[in-house]
A and B are shown apart, each in its own frame.
Chain A
Amino acid sequence: MSSAYADQKNVPIDAPLVLGDPTFGDITESVGVITETKAPVMWFLLVGFFASLAAVLGGSVGYLFWEGTGIWGLNVPVAWGWAIVNFVWWVGIGHAGTLISAILFLFRQRWRTAINRFAEAMTIFAIICALVFPMIHVGRVWVVYWTMPFPNQMGMWPNFRSPLLWDVFAVSTYFTVSLLFWYVGLIPDLATLRDRATTKVRKVMLGIFALGWRGSNKQWKHYERAYLILAALATPLVLSVHSVVSFDFAVSQLPGWHTTIFPPYFVAGAIFSGFAMVMTLAIVARKIYHLEHIITINHLDVMNKIMLATSLMVGYAYSCEFFVAWYSGNEFEQFAFINRATGPYAWAYWIMITCNVFIPQFLWSQRVRRSIPIMFVITIFINIGMWFERFVIVVSSLANDFLPSSWGYFTPTVWDVLTYVGTFGLFFTLFLIFLRFLPMVAISEVKGVLPAAKPTHHGHGGDDSHMAKVTAGNS
């Protein structure tokens, strides 16, 4: 990537991964101190605001349990509405975290160390928000545990041929593995905080969660192996999760859903939207917590390139769907896609195309990729666009299917909106708690990419402490 710009002037061809040449102690200090000093007033205000939003979610879900799914805008033919749209959107956001922590780890993209903790936390909270929706969408929520294969007096087992059941396994496995991965990454950093702790409560709590980590090489040996294996497991897992989510649609026979392109198309979209959300969060957090030397502009630049690449993939998928619809000669399929672009949901379709395909094209410009305000606005557009992508897929396909006599038009109710908005409350409350109490940057990993971490007289391994080596790998 970067070598293409080698002759341009202001490109950080050998920009260090961490700016300002800090010592190991400086890294510990700048990350650790955030969890140790009193939180800024702004933090309390934000937590108050988002916790209230989370209460809105609680209220909406409570009313849903009382009254039933009739409070939503759902009806035949559109029996899957915002709940499924939101589910797919939130799960997709989670994917960037795993991509950064696992796939970039396997590709030795060591710039990931600045953002992986952060992105993994985002993954976990996004999956929590996602999981809310299928659970409350089942209608009879009190029997949601029937999706699990457990012995019962009815002598029944779940139907393993249903994509919806695959989804139960895929998303719950994804959540569990992401949580384990995140926790394993946290152990050495919790030990760092434990050893800095000054109060009894912190010593005890951090002591328990650090499990007695000593940073001994005999421990690091197993630890690094475990981390590598987890990365190798999470990589196919993350690709499988959104593939399985897409099976919920693709395995059905509805025009607009029944397409083989769905698994890769969903995965690309998931990474696209997830990176947008990581960027949105990282841009704000690095500013507030003064981490500009760790999450540098170069990191944001590289992430912008990934967003541009995934935007192109998503754009390709949109056009490929049209091509296949035409090429199939199936008139229902052809109608489904022409109807998307020109029918009752054309407004949603063009919001999607504008946000996901047109606007990210600005990222071709290096000036845009290195301008914080512009990229922030672009990430917001992408977050919106990717929500509309799922809306278009779910709703427009259902609303106008085979027989015009059974067509309908979906309009959300206030409860749809409040439930969705409420999940932002849940997400940001969890995220703010994470920022406050846990190291938001992987301390031990960032130390590992400092120049001083590299032995000088042992000749193996290149110098990975610079952006150039890191990005030159994929040029």
Chain B
Amino acid sequence: MQSSSTASPEMRPAIVLAEFANVDALLSAAEKVRKAGYKKFDCYSPFPVHGLDAAMGEKQSPLGWIVGVMALIGGSGAVLMQGWMSAIDYPLIISGKPLFSFEAFVPIIFELTVLLSAFGAVFGMFALNRLPSLYHPIFNSDRFRAATDDGFFVGIESEDSKFNVEDVKRFFTAAGATNVEVVEEEVE
């Protein structure tokens, strides 16, 4: 945040953040940003908005593949673990059954498949979303607090090759933003 003290660090624009009135305005804005050729942008809303992925041109999340791999590790790991422990390392005869009695292993195979898949889903989602990341320049905006309450925002980031503060501001105003602000961050 900008500070008036003399030691205030040098600031530079990080994101141009535009606020929109409702879901419809957000969707049409997202579509306009994509069609205008901006690449590094994101939309912000208090709940997932249906149709926004298509409007933004977002690809499907690859999370399913991560979970699939984890499920295979969990399931095959459970077979190997139980087989090796019960039939090789510590052979224990129970009711005269074969040592590798896989039928009895099914419940734990299932449980470990689910457990590792769930780890994959949660921690894979964290990794894809870069969570936890407690700092982000967008939090320098006070208005942005509404993004988790009732605000709908589109932000174009300074890393975008077409980024130019004045152009983006004009663009957003033309797209029907109710408020446009430049969010700054410290120059490192």
Contact = CB atoms under 8 A, between A and B. Distances in A.
B134 to A, nearest CB: 5
A196 B64 CA distance: 34
A25 interface: yes
Q: Is the interface of A mostly helix, strand, loop or mixed?
A: helix
B121 interface: yes
A173 B114 contact: yes
A188 interface: yes
Interface in B62-103: 63-64, 67, 81-82, 85-86, 89-90, 92, 94-95, 97, 101
B61 A161 contact: no
Interface string A155-168: 11111111101100
A207 B27 contact: no
A96 to B, nearest CB: 19
B125 interface: yes
Contacts of A177: 114-115, 118
A229 B136 contact: no
Nearest to B148: A192
A108 interface: no
Interface residues of A, number: 73
B56 interface: yes
B170 interface: no
A338 interface: no
A266 B145 CA distance: 46
A283 interface: no
A212 B86 contact: no
Contacts of B105: 160
Given A160-B105, A161-B104, A170-B111, A454 B63 contact: no
Contact of A28 (B30, B101, B150): B150
A218 B58 contact: yes
Nearest to A230: B121
Interface string B102-136: 00110110111011011101101110110111111
A366 interface: no
Interface string B21-50: 011100110100000000000111111111
A357 to B, nearest CB: 30
A28 B121 contact: no
B183 to A, nearest CB: 12
A103 B105 CA distance: 26
B149 A25 contact: yes
Q: What is the predominant secondary structure among interface residues of chain B facing chain A?
A: helix
B50 A180 contact: no
Given A447-B47, A455-B51, A160 B149 contact: no
A447 B46 contact: yes
B122 A226 contact: yes
B58 A230 contact: no
Interface stretch (A236-244, A309-317, A413-421): A236-244
B50 to A, nearest CB: 6
A149 B111 CA distance: 14
B138 interface: yes
A214 B63 CA distance: 19
A222 B112 CA distance: 23
B52 interface: yes
A447 B148 CA distance: 11
Contact of A225 (B49, B110, B114, B125): B125
Contacts of B55: 458
Given A216-B43, A229-B64, A461-B50, 9 more contacts: A24-B150, A188-B47, A195-B148, A221-B60, A444-B47, A453-B23, A453-B47, A455-B49, A458-B51
25 contacts: A23-B150, A25-B149, A28-B150, A157-B86, A160-B82, A160-B104, A161-B94, A163-B107, A166-B111, A173-B111, A177-B115, A180-B121, A184-B125, A212-B136, A215-B147, A217-B49, A217-B52, A220-B48, A222-B63, A223-B125, A224-B48, A234-B118, A247-B107, A452-B22, A454-B50
Interface of A: 23-25, 28, 149, 155-163, 165-166, 169-170, 173, 176-177, 180-181, 183-184, 187-188, 191-192, 194-196, 207-208, 211-226, 229-230, 233-234, 236-237, 240, 244, 247, 443-445, 447-448, 452-458, 460-461
The 10 A-B pairs with the shortest beta carbon distances in the complex, nearest first, are A24-B150, A226-B125, A211-B132, A157-B85, A195-B145, A225-B61, A166-B107, A161-B104, A448-B47, A220-B48
